Amino acid sequence: MTWEQIDWTSLDRLRRGFLGSNAPDEGYWTCAADLANYDFTYGERIGWKWDAVFEELRQRGWSPEGGTLLDWGCGSGVAARRVVRNFGPERFRSLLVWDHSPIACTFAVRAAAAEYPSLRPAIASAGFLRSDEPIGLLVVSHVLNELDLPGRAALRALALRSAAVLWVEPGSKEISRALGGWRDDLAAVFRVVAPCTHQNPCPILGPGNETHWCHHFAPPPAHIFVDRDWMQFGRRAGIDLRSLPYSFLALDRRLAGHPPPGLSRVIGRPETFKPYVRLLNCDARGLEELTVQKRDDPALYKELGRTKAPLVYRWRREGTKIQGADRARDLDSERGA
């Protein structure tokens, strides 16, 4: 697929479907060309969210154990291909995909086979989905707004068969808070790797925090802002290419590899004012609004306003005032074995 081959009519129709609260009864996809157009544009933007997740997982020193990779609700299969690209095809024994749409399943298999033939990509059979066969890594991407009760039950059953789960969703308030509910449910079985830095119940779902939601912002590649085709796509789709909010969840049954103690995760974007930066902080103590005075740490003040890296820190603080910080990426020597 190239920009010269893009079918804008197809993309316009897909966009109308995405803006609805649920997938249309007939599904998003009418043919393989729909998926090719989506994969090249909207799917690539989803891939940038996954790239941001991988960067945070590298900070946490985490990678999956391997085994069978299942992309559930695969769409064009961009999530699974991004996972394999990041962790390497040698990590996994096989790659399975599933979607309500047979057209999507076929496209996802063919796209994955073109990049990673050694994994022998295939459509997950009904027998496999109903079985107790172990799943090494369950990948879930942008499905929460489409799940009915049977879908939720099926997804939960698959998660409970999995050694690890990676799940990425849009960064909207409703969906993010719903994902937090899944996090607290599955935390009874899994260690929460990210975005949380603790294993306590999600504080955002606690009383008094109803206005908050756990979301972050992925940095789009810089080149798209000087790319005429991407700019045209953004205008046509009504998308601000600078803003790529997402929510995510990384779970692992393994207890090894605890992060360094005392880490915090910043929620959303810090707000920068002339004398200070204000941020919403989440850690084992719960949610707190903290500030960094420019005079206390000019470098940190500047970094919080500009960095594209995941906002994971160990603060040095007095009350709600941050005096300095250690970055998660600099704490490898303290990471548990």
Poorest-pLDDT segment among 8-12, 228-232, 268-272, 321-325:
8-12
Question: pTM score, two decimals?
Answer: 0.93
Fold of 3-252: Rossmann fold (3.40.50)
The backbone torsions φ and ψ at residue 83, rounded to the nearest 5 degrees and listed phi first, read: -60, -45
d(CA 47, CA 80): 10
pLDDT digits (tens, 9 = 90+) for 295-314: 999 999 999 999 999 999 99
pLDDT digits (tens, 9 = 90+) for 31-61: 999 999 999 999 999 999 999 999 999 988 9
Mean pLDDT of the chain, nearest integer: 92
pLDDT digits (tens, 9 = 90+) for 314-326: 999 999 999 999 9
Mapped onto helix, strand or coil, the DSSP state of residue 288 is strand
Q: Are strands 286-293 and 276-283 parallel, antiparallel or unpaired?
A: antiparallel
Q: What angle do CA 304, 260, 336 make, to 5 degrees?
A: 145
pLDDT digits (tens, 9 = 90+) for 274-302: 999 999 999 999 999 999 999 999 999 99
- Please report which confidence band the pLDDT of residue 261 belongs to, taking 50, 70 and 90 as the band edges: confident
Q: What angle do CA 46, 282, 180 make, to 5 degrees?
A: 50
Poorest-pLDDT segment among 61-70, 199-208, 212-221, 254-263:
254-263
> pLDDT at residue 193 above 80?
yes
| Residue 239 vs residue 124, higher pLDDT | 124
pLDDT at position 328: 79
The backbone torsions φ and ψ at residue 191, rounded to the nearest 5 degrees and listed phi first, read: -85, 135
All structural domains of the chain with their residue ranges = 3-252, 264-334
d(CA 52, CA 280): 19
pLDDT digits (tens, 9 = 90+) for 159-180: 999 999 999 999 999 999 999 9
Phi-psi region of 212 (alpha: psi -120 to 50; beta: other; left: phi over 0): beta
